[in-house]
Structure 1
Amino acid sequence: MMKKAIVFAVAAAMALTACSGGEKTAEVAVESETTAAAQGTEAEKEAEKSVGQEEEPGKKVGVSLLNSTHVFYNNIQKSMDYTAGEMGWSVDFQDASGDANKQLSQVQDFITKKVDAIVIAPTNSAGSKSMVELADQAGIPVFTMDIKSDGDVVSHIATDNYKGGELAAQYLIENILTDKTGTAAVITYSEIESCVDREKGFTDYLEKNAPDIVVADIQNYSGDQQKAADVMQNMLLKYDNIDAVFCVGDPAAIGALSSITAAEKDTKIIGYDGNPEGIAEIKKGGNWVADVAQDPEAIGKTTMEAVEQYINGTNPEKEILIAPYIIDASNAE
């Protein structure tokens, strides 16, 4: 009888142990199912988030450049493209080739494509006003760089060109006509407001600081290098002596240099842009002695940042000016 009782007790204990083990196994299974479900939910959320990110496109900006063959604009384009890439944006670059009608067509195309913003380096300050108005009617913000427009844009980003003209005049006084007397000339680009600012900065500075330096002639080259050569040749024939010429762009300086060299004159040249051709001539130690340098990389980057700022809901400064600087034999590289 005792043996039966012991056997029964052991069997009961084994039964209880089996049930207890079964409960633990069930708990583990439930936990595993819960964990798997949770992990699945998180994975789904991440997948949804990823899909959402892929579906949200970056902004697109349309850019019409005055002339893509110019080194200055090439460097602006590279800077804008790089900055846009960092933002996850894309840029549609177009070359107006100095043609106002072509630029108008490009702006109309940007409007048709419904870009998020338009940036123009105008071929003509007055003529670009209608382009700005067209974009404004379509609800697309317009920015200008390097050259101002007569239209009302969100922001204008450029070199401080008036200051650049002053720097050229200051260099003339301190390094060429140090006795503050002599004869100078200017080759300008009257269709482009930024170039007129350079001319005005130069003449105003001389008038205030060296009134005995005579600006004998100011001639327009209209962005044509050969015309600059012709203009310089005519000046050299017209005047007995021209000590120095200020050229509002390096293409004008290249044209002027060819005529000065052909005439075997000692006229000094101060250019404007800081392009490689100018720097190479300065390093030779010849007639081309200095250049007012711009910073196209900073202009491109700052322009894209201004567009981003506006699209994100904050108005940038109406005019953002980038400081120019002088390059001469002491720092030409």
Structure 2
Amino acid sequence: MKLIIKAALLAAAALSSVTTASAQEDLKVGAIYMDAQGFYAGVRKGIQDGAEEAGRNLVIVETNAQGDVSKESSFIDSLISADVQAIIVSPVSADGSYRAIRRAHDAGIPVVCYNTCLNEQDMKEYISAYAVGDPYDFGHKLGDAAADYFIAEGNDAPKIAVLNCEFVEVCVTRRKGFEDALMAKVPDAEIVANQEGAILDKAVSVASTMLTSNPEIDAFFGEAGGATLGAARAVRSQGKEGEVVVFGGDMTTEIAQELADFTVIKGVVDISGQGLGKLALAQAIKSIDGTPPEGIEVPYDIDLYKSSEDGKGWLEAHADGIP
């Protein structure tokens, strides 16, 4: 029996009704997604597909934290009460999420992070496994691609604006990798603005304001999917196609379409949401079985897309639109 239970089914009566013929082999795993943007839709599908392929009687109890630490905390408490055997989570805050995760750990429930996690000390203490694409490498690959673009364009002092998601530590590390790679090849490049803009609507607004306030901007770096697409939309809305370009993270159908067009978006780095979801679930099952990974972190590949053909190829490979 493979079941995916929505957050609405968290009521105790609903949870208590979940039964199977062979209880000793059943697994119940909680899954928390940070938000509903494209990447996390991919993670959700990866977890669901992984559940189907696991060869176990597996129940997934899931919800969306909506980027809210208090909602995340409340759901973790519900999962503890529901006697899940593991929890998969992309913590909203490296420092603010640890209390709820510690409660799960103290209850004997292994916690598996994916994409984001706690600070290093708390991660060693409370986390069983961390499925992650190296955030420094994520930024570095993109910074290297951006540097090559500017060199080809003969721009040896580009001015770049950053739309960030730095309320999570991985995004700070992404920017560090981006800047290191860019400055190594184009030492006179300059970051002229850096503001939070992870959600699409906010990203469009912030990027538009940046373009108005800093008309000399040559490019945007979007640290996550909403930022990447928001920057591209802002460039188009102000008629700056051909003047301002975008480099960013996280593939979605719309971002791939922009890359395929190759007018505004010139490079995208991506960690497959589906692949990372499968990896996180596999680590949860291993942790339940008493064989967590050594060293906690379990790496996942990072892909770089930097041509129109790359964008078209991604669209063909993801006809369902799920990254």
For Structure 1 versus Structure 2, the TM-score category normalised by the shorter chain is 0.7 to 0.9
Q: Does 1:193 align with 2:161?
A: no
Contact 2:146 2:267 in 1 (8 A): no
Structure 1 unaligned residues grouped into runs of 5+: 1-51
Q: Which residue number in structure 2 is paired with residue 220 of structure 1?
A: 196
| Aligned equivalents of 1:275, 1:144: Cα separation in 2 | 22
| Aligned equivalents of 1:61, 1:184: Cα separation in 2 | 42
Q: Does 1:66 align with 2:66?
A: no
Contact 1:159 1:295 in 2 (8 A): no
Matched pairs, number: 280
Aligned Cα RMSD in Å?
A: 1.8
User: Structure 1 residue aligned with 2:128, among 154, 176, 191?
Assistant: 154
Q: Which residue number in structure 1 is paired with residue 16 of structure 2?
A: none
| Aligned equivalents of 1:53, 1:264: Cα separation in 2 | 62
User: Structure 2 residue aligned with 1:140, among 93, 106, 109?
Assistant: 109
User: Aligned-pair distance for 1:75?
Assistant: 1.4
CA deviation profile, 1:184-231 (whole Å, cap 9, x unmatched): 22111120122222111111222333211112222222x332222222
Q: Does 1:202 align with 2:178?
A: yes
* The structure with more radius of gyration: 1
| Aligned equivalents of 1:291, 1:204: Cα separation in 2 | 17
Q: 1:81 to 1:240 in 2, by over 3 A?
A: closer
Q: Looking at secondary structure, tell me which structure has more helix per residue.
A: 1
| Aligned equivalents of 2:252, 2:233: Cα separation in 1 | 17
User: Aligned-pair distance for 1:54?
Assistant: 2.9
Contact 1:244 1:269 in 2 (8 A): yes
Residues 47-62 of structure 1: pairs in structure 2 closer than 5 A: 54-62=22-30
Contact 1:271 1:278 in 2 (8 A): no
Q: Does 1:81 align with 2:59?
A: no
Q: Does 1:282 align with 2:253?
A: no
User: Aligned-pair distance for 1:55?
Assistant: 4.4
CA deviation profile, 1:6-49 (whole Å, cap 9, x unmatched): xxxxxxxxxxxxxxxxxxxxxxxxxxxxxxxxxxxxxxxxxxxx
SS at match of 1:61: strand
CA deviation profile, 1:162-187 (whole Å, cap 9, x unmatched): 11111111111112343443222211
| Aligned equivalents of 1:240, 1:99: Cα separation in 2 | 34
Contact 1:184 1:213 in 2 (8 A): yes
| Aligned equivalents of 2:113, 2:301: Cα separation in 1 | 17
Comparing both chains, which one has the higher relative contact order based on Cα–Cα distances under 8 Å and sequence gaps of 6 or more?
A: 2
Q: Which residue number in structure 2 is paired with residue 233 of structure 1?
A: 208
Q: Which residue number in structure 2 is paired with residue 7 of structure 1?
A: none
Q: TM-score of the superposition, structure 2-length normalised?
A: 0.82
Q: Which residue number in structure 1 is paired with residue 159 of structure 2?
A: 183
SS at match of 2:293: coil
* Identical amino acids, percent of aligned pairs: 25
Contact 1:290 1:329 in 2 (8 A): no
| Aligned equivalents of 1:330, 1:183: Cα separation in 2 | 27
Q: Which residue number in structure 2 is paired with residue 91 of structure 1?
A: 60
| Aligned equivalents of 2:229, 2:280: Cα separation in 1 | 29
| Aligned equivalents of 2:93, 2:204: Cα separation in 1 | 23
Q: Which residue number in structure 2 is paired with residue 293 of structure 1?
A: 270
Contact 2:247 2:268 in 1 (8 A): yes
SS at match of 1:330: helix
Q: Kindly provide the amino acid, as one letter, of the partner of residue 332 in structure 1.
A: G
| Aligned equivalents of 2:21, 2:206: Cα separation in 1 | 58
